[in-house]
Amino acid sequence: MRGVILSTRPHVVIIGGGFGGLSAAQALVDITLIDRRNFHLFQPLLYQVATSSLSPGEIAAPLRGVLSKQKNARVLLGDVVDVNLNTNAILLADGAIVQYDFLIVAAGAQSSYYGHEEWRQWAPYPKSIEEATEIRHKILYAFEVAERISDPVSRASWLTFVIVGGGATCVELAGAIGEIARQTLRNDFRSIVQFQSRVLVFIQWAFQDLTFSRGARMITGTTTTDFNFNKEIAAERSQPNAEITQPAGNAQR
Ligand SMILES: Cc1cc2nc3c(=O)[nH]c(=O)nc-3n(C[C@H](O)[C@H](O)[C@H](O)COP(=O)(O)OP(=O)(O)OC[C@H]3O[C@@H](n4cnc5c(N)ncnc54)[C@H](O)[C@@H]3O)c2cc1C
């Protein structure tokens, strides 16, 4: 798709088809919406994909379908790599150039690991379909391994899920993992006994004690440093196979 895409009338180019981009696309002007994905993702429900309550298709909607009745809007699949403010031109990864009269950048945010980018490989954050399904795999795989282990200590280790961070996503994930362990899967496994699994939530501080149900336990006053935790947490971490996921926060892209 090399070359210049000309618009004959003044038009607005929007980068990103998330909540922000789609809201902006309601404007009554000529719009080109560019996104590297051709679907809108309802991120607040990603934790349910991560915990097997929903399938990815249930929280994703094709951008073309969303805007199909809006004849002033068109959708382009493309990864924006640069914007030239002098020439009003957007450069896509495949070399295509898109001209604009007005530009709205609604490219969203990305997850932050607070300077520990190396944690991302072990502990995905549920920010995209890929990351949510990776978490889902980790959780279900842990149950599968535990089912085949006879040593109770090792099994308990595989059934220990650690979440670092105390935000809304943490609470949602903690509850959902507990629910999987205690309700959804309780009839599907023979070796794993109900209430054997546990969810540990490590957070630095909290305004008040959060009450978790379904087997989740909050451990406050803990600073996570390279997954070498303070004394109490180190004791919890003595189980080396514990699954770790990391809902810690967002940083602006
Ligand atoms: C697990 C989770 C739970 C949440 N729960 C809530 C909640 O309960 N309530 C609430 O209000 N908010 C919640 N949020 C936050 C909310 O989802 C975000 O604030 C919102 O999605 C941000 O919208 P946005 O349009 O700014 O960005 P996004 O929705 O991230 O959209 C950005 C779009 O830009 C595209 N894009 C990015 N870079 C490029 C590029 N270079 N080229 C082309 N396209 C690009 C992306 O593909 C994406 O489609 C939650 C978020 C998460 C992750």
pLDDT in tens, the chain (253 residues): 444 455 566 789 999 999 999 999 998 789 999 999 999 999 999 999 999 999 999 999 999 999 999 999 999 999 999 999 999 999 999 999 999 999 999 999 988 887 888 778 878 899 999 999 999 999 999 999 999 999 988 888 888 888 888 788 888 898 898 888 777 777 888 887 766 788 878 777 665 555 555 667 777 776 777 665 443 444 445 455 666 666 555 544 3
Pocket test for ligand 1, best of 13, 35, 59, 253 (most atoms within 8 A of CB): 35
Q: Judge contact between 183 and 142, C-beta under 8 A.
A: no
- Per-residue pLDDT, 230: 41
- Per-residue pLDDT, 44: 96
Question: Ligand 1 mean position to 137 CA, how many Å?
Answer: 22
| CATH code given to domain 117-252 | 3.50.50
* CA atoms within 13 Å, Cβ hemisphere of 7: 20
Residues with CB under 6 A from ligand 1: 15-21, 34-37, 43-44, 46-47, 79-80, 106-108, 126-127, 168-169
Question: Ligand 1 mean position to 165 CA, how many Å?
Answer: 19
> Which candidate in 172, 179, 232, 236 is catalytic?
172
Question: Ligand 1 mean position to 110 CA, how many Å?
Answer: 8
Question: Ligand 1 mean position to 18 CA, how many Å?
Answer: 5
The ranges assigned to domains in the chain are 4-107, 117-252
Q: Does 179 qualify as catalytic in the annotation?
A: no
- Per-residue pLDDT, 235: 43
Q: Judge contact between 2 and 25, C-beta under 8 A.
A: no
Ligand 1 closest atom vs CA 81 = 41
Q: Judge contact between 27 and 12, C-beta under 8 A.
A: yes
Q: Which CATH class is domain 4-107?
A: alpha beta
Calculate ∠ Cα 146-151-154, nearest 5°.
Answer: 60
Cα(179)–Cα(192) distance, integer angstroms: 14
Ligand 1 closest atom vs CA 80 = 42
Cα(232)–Cα(243) distance, integer angstroms: 18
